[in-house]
């Protein structure tokens, strides 16, 4: 009888001991802050399916409320482009932006937003998730006490709005154009006076002739800014941004305080937003493009082939110069281009012949 009671008591004690960590973990909760480089109410960048605010909701729901993230749009807690410093210094745990904003601090970061004549959204996701891209991103940021994951993608972006036609490469010379990232360096080599303006300042600058051309995102976002009222020539090819990644930047010390299951929830929610935001962009851009052409008299056309060829040539020079100047950029550049070559061979055999068959009108 005593032996039975002892064994029963031991089993209960052992069960309680094994269950204790789970109980403690379930009771542990975290309250984080996320800042954003974009202003309040911005579709995709702040609000809507797959947006940073949607990410925060997903994390809270998936974690059963154990991880709550309070989101602050640009200007609500810190200025638009101070998120990198805020995360690094532990002022906030997270920031949503684009890695090419930090080019002045880390030139190689640009490769984790977009690369002119680089990969499309499918190729970029393949590189990020299965080709070592995220690991390289972490390697780049960890010495600064941070890490990052993709949390959104606009897909291919339009070349931009121009107040006059572009027929030759010489037509770029002397143009004042709003354009960020590596593409700005390419345009500068062709005589463009590159301007860096936040989204809210693009329309008035283009309307008043302060700038002659502007790139923002795509039909839906551009129409929302009213750019179709300031310029009529809307060019494509998407050479400068064949995709555009939203960066989820995380303070590494804060990240390491999260238990493994919450870390996994953050990664899963970010991946879900990456897919969902791109689907939203494709759906809304399709309808907006038709509206711009049908109802606003917008002239949508591709850049001439010889212009694109020159842009490709100058892009290769620009990327090589950047890689030669910085060992970290060289490492990321070479890894990116090696994967692009492999992926491009496959895409050329599979997707390229298929697209005209599927979508030819």
Q: Enumerate the known binding-site residues.
A: 157, 178, 215-216, 241
Burial of 282 (0-12, 13-18, 19+ CB in 10 A): middle
Tell me which residue of 303, 151, 259, 157 sits closest to 218, measured CA to CA.
157
* Letter string b/e over residues 35-58, b meaning 16 or more CB atoms within 10 A of that residue's CB: bbbbbeebbbbbbbebbbbbbbeb
Annotated binding site for Na(+): 216
Tokens of 49: 């399916």
Tokens of 1: 């009888």
Q: Are 45 and 55 in contact (CB under 8 A)?
A: no
Q: Are 248 and 145 in contact (CB under 8 A)?
A: no
- SS3 state at 105: coil
Could you write out the DSSP letters of every residue in 168-232?
SGGGGTT-EEE--HHHHHHHHHTT-EEE---HHHHHHHHHTTS-SEE--S-HHHHHHHTGGGT--
Annotated binding site for substrate: 157, 178, 215, 241
Q: Give the whole-angstrom CA distance, residue 203 versus residue 5.
A: 80
């Amino acid at each position: 009888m005593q032996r039975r009671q002892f064994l029963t008591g031991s089993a209960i004690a052992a069960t309680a001991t094994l269950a204790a960590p789970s109980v403690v973990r379930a009771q542990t909760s975290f309250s984080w802050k996320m800042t954003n480089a974009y202003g309040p109410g911005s579709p995709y960048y702040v609000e809507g399916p797959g947006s940073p605010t949607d990410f925060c909701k997903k994390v809270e729901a998936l974690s059963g409320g154990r991880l709550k993230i309070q989101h602050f749009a640009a200007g609500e807690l810190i200025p638009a482009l101070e998120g990198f410093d805020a995360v690094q210094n532990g002022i906030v745990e997270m920031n949503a932006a684009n890695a090419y904003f930090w080019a002045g601090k880390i030139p190689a970061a640009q490769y984790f937003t977009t690369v002119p004549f680089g990969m499309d959204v499918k190729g970029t996701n393949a590189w990020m998730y299965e080709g070592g891209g995220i690991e390289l991103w972490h390697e780049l940021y960890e010495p600064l006490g941070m890490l990052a994951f993709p949390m959104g993608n606009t897909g291919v972006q339009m070349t931009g709005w121009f107040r006059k036609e572009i027929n030759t490469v010489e037509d770029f010379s002397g143009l004042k154009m709003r354009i960020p990232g590596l593409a700005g360096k390419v345009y500068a080599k062709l005589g463009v006076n590159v301007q860096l303006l936040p989204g809210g300042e693009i329309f008035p600058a283009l309307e008043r002739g302060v700038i002659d051309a502007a790139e923002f995102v795509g039909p839906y976002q551009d129409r929302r800014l009213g750019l179709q009222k300031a310029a009529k020539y809307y060019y494509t090819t998407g050479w400068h941004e064949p995709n555009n990644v939203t960066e989820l930047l995380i303070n590494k010390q804060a990240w390491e305080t999260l238990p493994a299951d919450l870390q996994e929830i953050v990664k899963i929610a970010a991946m879900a937003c990456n897919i969902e935001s791109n689907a939203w962009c494709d759906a809304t851009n399709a309808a907006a493009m038709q509206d711009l052409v049908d109802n606003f008299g917008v002239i949508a056309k591709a850049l001439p082939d010889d212009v694109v060829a020159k842009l490709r040539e100058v892009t290769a020079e620009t990327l090589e110069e950047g890689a030669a100047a910085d060992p970290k950029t060289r490492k990321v550049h070479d890894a990116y281009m090696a994967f692009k070559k492999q992926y491009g061979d496959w895409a050329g055999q599979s997707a390229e012949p298929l697209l005209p068959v599927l979508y030819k009108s």
